[in-house]
Amino acid sequence: MRPQARLERMLSVPEESARPRASTRSVLVGLIGSGIQASRSPALHEREAEAQGLRGIYKLIDLAQLDLPAEAAGELMLSAQQLGFAGLNITHPCKQSIIATLDDLSPEAEAIGAVNTVVFEGKRRVGHNTDAYGFAESVRRGLSDARLDRVVQLGAGGVGAAVAHALLSSGAGRLTLVDVDAGRAVALAARLRNRFGQGRARAESDASEAIATADGVVNATPIGMARYPGAPIPSALLRPALWVADIVYTPLETEFLRAARRLGCRTLPGGGMAVFQAVEAFRLFTGIAPDAARMLRHFESMIAGADSVAVSTKP
Ligand code: NAD
């Protein structure tokens, strides 16, 4: 079966849902990625749409469920556009490969080299990266007066590129990247120096020396997720004066954050980034600025049973 036929069957969007009612504007969006059934994006977007007086429909287009490779994402996206979607979120493993099928990129998505949100503008497809905004906003709220002179980032993968851009755009003086795949850290550091200036980013093979003189450490690796248990570095490298941020948000309190909190470090869980990337994607899809505090509360209520750590909501 061709991707479009599979997609149409999977989506089964009721015609009346996709068609605007006289009094209610409908917004049909979705997420393309692999293994995304546990995503909280549908609930987050649909509940906020309802609160805004919209009829929001957020569909999961799961490559794993469709038994399709990452390369099928482009064709699936075209089908969604033809079916009347307003746009799509894009996640692993398609954030980079989807770029080849887009007409335009926001300056940020172009600089980061990854797209997590595509907005359909008539026949055009415009790629954005709201992960960087999500992390920057989370830092702005949760680490407002923290020193950012020297920051160490563990992990220089797809999301790591957005996090690094967010850190340097938020005033981080010098960023040290450490990745077990050394080539990734070297390549990202070079791109960051080109954009933010010489001396602002470097790659190191060992985190310990850089952490000894750092103000904060960010985990941008998958270590700490249920599938990748543990911490990205030994807790012996931490000290109370460091702030410690994680981008993993399932669970909200990772082993890394727990060890840091016990030592007395200031910590920032990954839930804020997850919510604020959705806040910005919602704005791009609908043209309406959502109520970020309400989306945060909703996110917290969804995960309350799974984890008791609250996402910082302090402005
Ligand atoms: P990725 O696979 O592209 O990159 C991960 C990088 O981490 C790789 O380069 C890998 O070599 C490196 N790495 C692994 N273990 C390491 C270690 N111990 N030390 C140093 N480097 C190490 O993955 P990604 O797409 O960048 O996603 C990373 C994680 O971000 C995901 O697993 C997910 O938990 C999280 N995430 C969070 C949000 C959010 O909104 N908070 C959004 C998307 C993804």
Domain spans in the chain, listed from the N-terminal domain onward: 3-129, 132-272
- Concatenated DSSP letters of 74-139: HHHHHHHHHTT-SEEEE-TT-TTGGGGG-SEE-HHHHHHT--SEEEEETTEEEEE--HHHHHHHHH
The whole-number average pLDDT for the span 287-313 is 79
What distance in Å separates the CA atoms of residue 190 and residue 41, rounded to the nearest whole number? 33
Q: Would you say 168 and 196 are in contact if contact means Cβ atoms under 8 Å apart? A: yes
Beta-strand relationship, 174-178 and 201-203: parallel
Q: What is the distance in A from the centroid of ligand 1 to the CA of 224?
A: 10
The total of other beta-carbon atoms located within 10 Å of residue 145's CB is: 5
pLDDT digits (tens, 9 = 90+) for 112-149: 999 999 999 999 999 999 999 999 999 999 999 999 99
Pocket mutation for ligand 1, best pick of 117, 135, 179, 312 (most atoms within 8 Å of C-beta): 179
Provide CB contacts within 8 A for 199, sequence distance 6+: 174, 193
The 8-class DSSP code of residue 225 comes to B
CATH superfamily to which 3-129 belongs: Leucine Dehydrogenase, chain A, domain 1 (3.40.50.10860)
pLDDT digits (tens, 9 = 90+) for 173-189: 999 999 999 999 999 99
Query: What amino acid occupies position 99?
Result: I
Considering the chain, what is the average pLDDT of its residues?
92
Q: What is the distance in A from the centroid of ligand 1 to the CA of 219?
A: 8
> Three-state DSSP class for 17?
helix
pLDDT digits (tens, 9 = 90+) for 198-222: 999 999 999 999 999 999 999 999 9
With a 6 Å cutoff on the Cβ, whether 231 touches ligand 1 is no
Q: For residue 101, what pLDDT band results from cuts at 50, 70 and 90?
A: very high
The whole-number average pLDDT for the span 84-91 is 98
Q: Would you say 151 and 217 are in contact if contact means Cβ atoms under 8 Å apart? A: yes
Q: At what angle do helices 131-142 and 158-169 cross, to 10 degrees?
A: 50
- Look at 285 and 7; give whichever has higher pLDDT: 285
Tokens encoding 68: 């399709």
> Three-state DSSP class for 176?
strand
The whole-number average pLDDT for the span 151-171 is 97
Options 3.40.720.10, 3.40.50.620, 3.90.1150.10, 3.40.50.720; CATH for 132-272 is 3.40.50.720
What distance in Å separates the CA atoms of residue 288 and residue 293, rounded to the nearest whole number? 15
Residue nearest atom 34 in ligand 1 by C-alpha distance: 248
pLDDT of 264: 98
Q: What is the distance in A from the centroid of ligand 1 to the CA of 160?
A: 7
With a 6 Å cutoff on the Cβ, whether 30 touches ligand 1 is no
Q: What is the CA radius of gyration of the chain?
A: 20
